Chain A
Amino acid sequence: MTVGGIDVGSVNTSVVVFNDGCILSQLVLGSDSTDSDPHRAIELALGAAGCDWSQLGPVVATGRGRSSVDFAQRQSSEVVCQARGALWVCPAARTVINLGGESSRVISLNGEGRVTSFVTNDKCAAGSGLFLESMAYLMEVPVAVMGTMALEAAVVEEVSSRCAVFAESEVISHIHRGVGKERILAGLHRAVADRILDLVSRVTVEPEVVVTGGVAKNVAVVKELETRLGYPVWLPPEPQVVGALGAALLARDDSGK
Chain B
Amino acid sequence: MIDNLRRLRRERHQEARAWKERTGGKVVGVFCCDVPEELIYAAGMLPVRLLGAHEEATEGNLHFPTNVCPYPTSCLDQALKGRYDYLDGVIVPNVCDMVRAMYGAWKLNVGIPYLYFLEVPQRIGPRGVEFFAEMLGRFRSSLEELSGNTMSDASLRQAIDVYNRNRELLRQAYDLRKTGLISGVELQEMVLSSMLMPKEAHNQLMSECLEEASQRNPAGDGVRLLVSASMLDDTDFFQLIEECGGQVVADDMPTGSRYFFHSVDSEAEPLHALAQRHLAEIPCPRKMLPGARLQYVDETMADADVQGAIIHNLKACDCHLYEYPYLREMLEAKGLPVLFFRGEETEAELETQRDDIEAFIEMIRG
Contact = CB atoms under 8 A, between A and B. Distances in A.
B355 A77 contact: yes
A80 B355 contact: no
A76 B342 CA distance: 24
B154 interface: no
Contacts of B342: 122
A240 to B, nearest CB: 19
User: For this complex, into which size category does the number of interface residues on chain B fall?
Assistant: 10 to 19
Contact of B359 (A80, A114, A116, A122): A80
Interface in A73-125: 76-80, 103, 114-118, 120, 122-123
Contacts of A162: none
Interface in A112-148: 114-118, 120, 122-123
A250 B353 CA distance: 23
A118 B362 contact: no
B188 to A, nearest CB: 25
Given A120-B355, A122-B342, A77 B337 contact: no
Nearest to A105: B359
B358 interface: yes
Contact of A77 (B338, B352, B359): B359
B362 A76 contact: yes
B310 to A, nearest CB: 13
A115 B337 CA distance: 10
A118 B363 contact: yes
Interface in A52-92: 64, 76-80
B366 interface: yes
B359 A79 contact: yes
B356 interface: yes
B235 to A, nearest CB: 23
A77 B362 contact: yes
A122 B341 CA distance: 10
A13 B338 CA distance: 30
A134 B120 CA distance: 52
A122 B342 CA distance: 9
A103 B358 CA distance: 15
Contact of B363 (A79, A103, A120): A79
Size range of the interface on A? 10 to 19
Contact of B366 (A64, A78, A114): A114
Interface in B317-366: 337-338, 342, 352, 355-356, 358-360, 362-363, 366
Contacts of A80: 359, 362-363
Contact of A118 (B352, B359, B366): B359
B56 to A, nearest CB: 15
B337 A123 contact: no
A64 B356 CA distance: 11
A78 B355 contact: yes
B208 to A, nearest CB: 38
A117 B336 CA distance: 10
B355 A115 contact: no
Contact of A120 (B337, B338, B356, B362): B356
B355 A116 contact: no
A115 B352 contact: no
A120 B352 CA distance: 10
A121 B116 CA distance: 42
Contacts of A76: 362
A249 to B, nearest CB: 14
Contacts of B356: 120
Contacts of A115: 363
Nearest to A75: B358
Contacts of A78: 355, 359
Contacts of B359: 77-80, 118, 120
B74 to A, nearest CB: 19
Contacts of A114: 363, 366
B113 to A, nearest CB: 41
Interface string B112-147: 000000000000000000000000000000000000
B346 to A, nearest CB: 10
Contacts of A117: 337-338, 363
A80 B362 CA distance: 7
Nearest to B361: A77
Interface in B161-211: none
Contacts of B337: 116-117
Contacts of A123: 352
B358 A77 contact: yes
Contacts of B355: 64, 77-78, 103, 120
A40 B119 CA distance: 66
Nearest to A64: B355
Interface string A176-208: 000000000000000000000000000000000
Nearest to A79: B359
B339 to A, nearest CB: 9
Nearest to B338: A117
A107 to B, nearest CB: 9
Q: Which of A77, A78, A122 has the most CB of B within 10 A?
A: A77
A77 B363 CA distance: 9
Shortest 6 CB-CB contacts between residues of A and residues of B:
A77-B359, A79-B359, A115-B363, A77-B358, A80-B362, A77-B362
Given A77-B355, A80-B362, 20 more contacts: A77-B358, A77-B359, A77-B362, A77-B363, A78-B355, A78-B359, A79-B363, A80-B363, A103-B355, A114-B363, A115-B363, A116-B337, A117-B338, A118-B359, A118-B360, A118-B363, A120-B355, A120-B356, A120-B359, A122-B342
Interface of A: 64, 76-80, 103, 114-118, 120, 122-123
7 contacts: A77-B359, A80-B363, A114-B363, A114-B366, A117-B337, A117-B363, A120-B355
